[in-house]
Structure 1
């Protein structure tokens, strides 16, 4: 069978050559993060305190809304008389 003859062409050089600097940048160490029990306890206490404050604000808002409805009802009944 006849095979076409291709011209001899050298392999083109790679577009990007890896240097030692490229490898150093890729392998930089990740800083170690140590978590101690005091930090965890402080975070938990802060979360509990913030949750309690949020609950207190919600309860206060509901109680103010109920008081406003009751006062409105009382004032409306007084205007009718």
Structure 2
């Protein structure tokens, strides 16, 4: 007569056990980088200066475009009056 090995368990015992292969290699941590406050201040200052220069160029371009439109309008009116 066949008697189960584990009478309380409804599932049969595993046929083989899992043995892990070599453990995962240890990852090396990246070297820590220290950033001085002077470097941070320099980068922020440079960003502010470049942003201000970009804004100045944009304002200048807009004012030149407006001046060109006004001059063109004035020259048109002068040619119409003749």
TM-score relative to the length of structure 1: 0.70
Distance 1:9 1:63, change over 3 A: closer
User: Which protein has the bigger helix share?
Assistant: 1
Structure 2 residue ranges without an equivalent (≥5)? 5-10
- Do the aligned partners of residues 30 and 77 (structure 1) sit closer, same or farther apart at CA in structure 2, a change above 3 Å counting? same
- When residues 8 and 48 of structure 1 are mapped into structure 2, their CA distance, relative to the original with a 3 A threshold, is closer
Q: Which residue of the partner structure matches residue 23 of structure 1?
A: 25
Number of corresponding residues: 73
The ranges of structure 1 where at least 4 consecutive aligned residues each deviate by more than 6 angstroms after the TM superposition are 5-9
Larger Rg: 2
Structure with the larger RCO, 1 or 2 (CA within 8 Å, 6+ apart):
2
TM-score by length of 2: 0.70
RMSD: 2.4
Structure 1 unaligned segments of length 5 or more: list them: none
Q: Distance in 1 between matches of 2:40 and 2:14?
A: 66
1:10-54 CA-to-partner distances (Å, cap 9, x unmatched) read 31656x6233xx3323xx112202111110111111111111111
Specify the alignment match of 1:51 in structure 2. Answer: 51
